[in-house]
Amino acid sequence: MNLIVFGTRPEAIKMAPLVLEFAKETSCVTKVCVTAQHREMLDQVLDFFEIIPDYDLNVMKPNQNLYSLTATIIENMKAVLEDAKPDFVYVHGDTTTSMAVGIAAFYYGAKVCHVEAGLRTFDRKYPFPEEFNRQLTGKIADYHFAPTPVSKQNLLQENVRDINILVTGNTVIDALLLGVKKVNQESFKDSEIDHLKGIVDFSKKIILVTGHRRENHGEGLIKICTALKKLALDYKGIQIIYPVHLNPNVEGPVNELLSGIKNIILVKPLAYAAFLWLMEKAYFIITDSGGIQEEAPSLGKPVLVTRDTTERPEAIDAGTVCLVGTNTNVILKESKKLLDDSAYYQSKSILHNPYGDGKSAQRIVNFIKEL
Ligand code: UD1
Ligand code: UDP
């Protein structure tokens, strides 16, 4: 019996292909549990992929803290595990949900399967607390589904046995391909996309922005917003679209610093369909998101990453991703290069797929079936 557990928007996007792949298997029972570490942003993804969870812990509290979130998840998972009686529990990546569910599954005695295993910055404070969460989940896990050879290598260096690691590609690409196919269907109607068509001038160059990392809260976010403001004022012919994360530590300052600027459009987090549609329309992207760094190469979109380090070196090597940190001048300089120098822009917008071929979930299911 399989139990797939996730709690935030990116985990939901990246676990949805696995849920759908296991649903095709008649030989085993698979159940889905959501912690709902995120509520609205998780539900947007569940709706898009038409997933109805078997268990919903509904743990999200406004402006929640890591202590109570971790404790509540571990505490609440006991009843779920005792009811579902899983042989295998699947967790994803590096969130508090992944780490806490991993611990609970270990206590229960299930085999822990870590999807998107082996990403590392090797600095436990960056990103915080994600690097520590994934290292800990890696210690707990019995099976490690590494997205790339680099992530497998990281695990081998930590003495994980080769036989317990499978390089799968990243399920984010499975989700992306499923998503793009759905969005491009003629019958597909989406009120958010219709709304965007009404408020955005798509004849202009679109810069898409997101951000939420804890270590950027406060000063970092202020410096990023200052760069966006200057860019918008210097380049009247661009439109900056910023779907603002619901974390109050992000929503508050961003609304305060960037409201009322004519060519900056602030919107609520977009459902996956509208976000994919907008990514395809973007000229380039400024973000600190992990998932967007992985999606952008497949769409050929340059990305300025507002972080000093990344656990995703593959897209830097391929040229799509450029680390700019949170320094206002560096963000401005790199943005202007992309806007002003078309040869440079072309060199950064080459389509490539370092993160997978859309068959990652299938590989995971086959691996488990063969155990
Ligand atoms: C979490 C993850 C981070 C992941 C990010 C993806 C941890 C510690 N952090 O960070 O790794 O990259 O999600 O977005 O696991 N909120 C809502 N509605 C929502 C979602 C969030 O109101 O649907 C607000 C709530 O006030 C909540 C707060 O955002 O308390 C913070 O949510 P939380 O999951 O703790 O942190 P994120 O910054 O979202
Ligand atoms: N995303 C979305 N709507 C938005 C912004 C992002 O659906 O308004 C998607 C995006 O395509 C990617 C994922 O959310 O798949 C990234 O989530 P986030 O940046 O919150 O978390 P991270 O990847 O950094 O953990």
DSSP 273-317: HHHHHHHHH-SEEEE--HHHHHHHHHHT--EEE-SS--S-THHHH
Distance CA 244, CA 226 (A): 16
Distance CA 103, CA 356 (A): 29
Cis preceding linkage at 147, omega within 30: no
Provide CATH 3.40.50.2000 ranges for the chain.
Answer: 2-170+356-369, 190-348
The pLDDT of residue 129 is 97
Report DSSP state, residue 38. Answer: S
The beta-carbon contacts of 259-262 under 8 Å, at least 24 apart in sequence, are: 261/229, 261/232, 261/233, 262/232
214 in catalytic set? yes
Distance CA 102, CA 89 (A): 8
Instruction: Look at ligand 2, atom 2, and give the residue with the nearest C-alpha.
Output: 272
- Of all ligands present, the nearest one to the C-alpha of 64 is 1
Distance CA 367, CA 371 (A): 7
* Ligand 1 centre distance from Cα of residue 10 (Å): 10
Residue 226, Cβ density class (10 Å: 0-12 exposed, 13-18 middle, ≥19 buried) = middle
Which among 32, 30, 12 is positioned nearest to 22, based on CA atoms?
A: 30
Which among 171, 122, 164, 166 is positioned nearest to 145, based on CA atoms?
A: 166
Angle (CA) 75 170 313, round 5°: 105
Strand-pair partners of 143: 113
40 in catalytic set? no
Please state, in angstroms and as integers, the Cα–Cα distance from residue 249 to each residue in 130, 216, 256, 356, following that order: 17, 10, 11, 33
Instruction: Write down the CATH number for the domain with range 190-348.
Output: 3.40.50.2000
* Domain spanning 2-170+356-369, CATH class: alpha beta
Which of 195, 275, 285 most suits a substitution to test ligand 2, by most atoms within 8 Å of the C-beta?
275
The pLDDT of residue 353 is 87
Strand-pair partners of 114: 91, 144
Which of 5, 8, 311 most suits a substitution to test ligand 1, by most atoms within 8 Å of the C-beta?
8
Which residue reads 């991993």 in tokens? 102
Q: Output the DSSP codes for 84-130.
A: H--SEEEEETTSHHHHHHHHHHHHHTPEEEEES-----S-TTSSTTH
- Considering the entire predicted model, what is its pTM? 0.98
Span between the terminal Cα atoms of the chain, in Å: 13
Which candidate in 39, 124, 214, 217 is catalytic? 214
Contact 3, 31 (CB under 8 A): yes
Specify the amino acid at residue 149: P
* Ligand 2 centre distance from Cα of residue 169 (Å): 18
Is 95's C-beta closer than 6 angstroms to any atom of ligand 1? yes
Interval 248-280: pLDDT, tens: 999 999 999 999 999 999 999 999 999 999 999
**Which residues of the chain carry a pLDDT beneath 50?**
none
Contact 36, 55 (CB under 8 A): no
